[in-house]
Amino acid sequence: VANVVWSATPELMADTRHPIPSWSWGKGLNVESRFTGTMDYSSLLSVPAAMEYLQRWRSEEDESSVDYCHRRVLESSRLLAEAWGTADQLLPEELVATQAMVRLPPELVVTDLPGQPGKGVRQTLRERYCVEAAIGNFGPEIGSWVRLSYAVYNTERDIARLKDAVLEILEMQQIYGV
């Protein structure tokens, strides 16, 4: 797949934005297009089939994908927050769609910066536990959080793996220090 963008004026090109937002949003089309996932538009060809699938998908309780994922992310965020001792900091349900921010245990040492992959808890979760999760330390006043996403393919077992992995990392930090 090849992409060509032409503009009648440099000013128009400077105001043109990439259709797929990335960490480089607002830095100009050239920089915004450098992220690998933004260079290949072929995945956009699957959008109509994906939309049809999600519109037709029904849970065992006959919920739409949106309703199912909303219910499951709320249940999962409560489960995690209760296990991690942060249930008092859950977001109000009306602020949650299919993603929820869940506070990590305050004792857990998290060096991960939001949106910046590094050698912290996120990498440990990925490499040791095969769990992909967006982790971020927002400073001492706000704390460290996981962005919990729920999709139709997620399972209770996925959430349990995340819960247990975080508790095990915390236990290892307490035993061996950080």
Average pLDDT, the chain: 89
- 122 closest CA partner among 136, 109, 108: 136
CA distance 131 to 139: 24
| Percentages of the chain per state (helix, strand, coil), in multiples of 5 | 50, 10, 40
Task: Note the pLDDT tens digit of each residue in 45-102.
Answer: 888 999 999 999 999 999 999 999 999 999 999 999 999 999 999 999 999 999 999 9
